[in-house]
Amino acid sequence: MLNSCACLALLEGEPRGATVASLLREAHAAGAAVLLSTVNLTEVCYILWRRAGEGRMGQALQVLGALPMQFAPPGLPVCTAAARLKAIHSLGLGDCFAAALTLASDAALVTADPHFRQLEPDLAVIWLPPADASGEPGPSLPQS
């Protein structure tokens, strides 16, 4: 399960995006599903639109559509679990959906967001390395 920061790291060519790409390849080779909540997909879309425009968002959607991942719309049980997490913990709504879907799927969440530490050990997390210390972005999607 990817959260929005893992997805953005991959799409924006951040150094830690290489870790995400490697995890996608490993999961695909093992026949395991990689999920992205449609709520987190929405976060990725609006972040990219704000940063670089609608065309950039469209490019990202094409890239994501070609990757070996599944987009998971939240059903009522996941919505209820996300609401519970939001009521109890200091997490953004998108993060609550990522965590709830991860827990419901008996999966691990791929993220670099330290807010998820409060859900350990109940939530299995694959931690991405910190962002590039230089602050320089890696190669990214071509501009439209």
- If one counts every other C-beta atom within 10 angstroms of the C-beta of residue 62, the result is 10
Can you name the CATH fold of 4-125?
A: Rossmann fold (3.40.50)
Which pTM was predicted? 0.86
* Model pLDDT for residues 74-122, shown as the tens digit of each residue: 999 999 999 999 999 999 999 999 999 999 999 999 999 999 999 999 9
Contacts of 21 (CB under 8 A, 6+ apart): 10
Distance CA 63, CA 60 (A): 5
Q: Would you kindly state where each structural domain of the chain is located, as residue ranges?
A: 4-125
- Tokens 């609608």 — which residue? 54
33-90 pLDDT, tens per residue?
999 999 999 999 999 999 999 999 999 999 999 999 999 999 999 999 999 999 999 9
- Chain centroid to CA 130: 15
